Amino acid sequence: MTREVYYIGNTVVCDWSCGADFTNSDRSGGLLFGSKACCPDCAPKCEADAKRYGEERFIAGRCPPGMSFRDWVLRLRDGDNTLTVITGESFEEVFGSEKRNP
């Protein structure tokens, strides 16, 4: 198993479907679905889909009014501006022997 850690600084992109870069944007809005930051553009569809499938409980937070999506995501990170990529030969090597949905 290998673990690679990448420092991304203040880069902020949508974790949902569009991958838009909000690093230099002051736009407000968006939500946190599970651990994924959903930008202001993707949030309406994300929320509608959550309601459709009874998954509203996974909406873990919303960007406060007047705060940029970028600043909100940076605050959610609490200074941990890294991405960790874990690779392995098998599910068991990466996640252990317990079968679960990653």
Residue-wise pLDDT tens digits, 44-66: 999 999 999 999 999 999 999 99
3-state secondary structure of 57: helix
**Domain residue ranges in the chain:** 12-78
Query: Do the beta carbons of residue 55 and residue 36 sit within 8 Å?
Result: no
3-state secondary structure of 31: strand
Question: pLDDT tens for residues 6-33?
Answer: 999 999 999 998 999 999 999 999 999 9
* Gap between the Cα atoms of 69 and 31, Å rounded: 9
* Gap between the Cα atoms of 86 and 49, Å rounded: 29
The string of DSSP codes covering 65-78 is TTSBHHHHHHHHHT
Whole-model pTM: value is 0.83
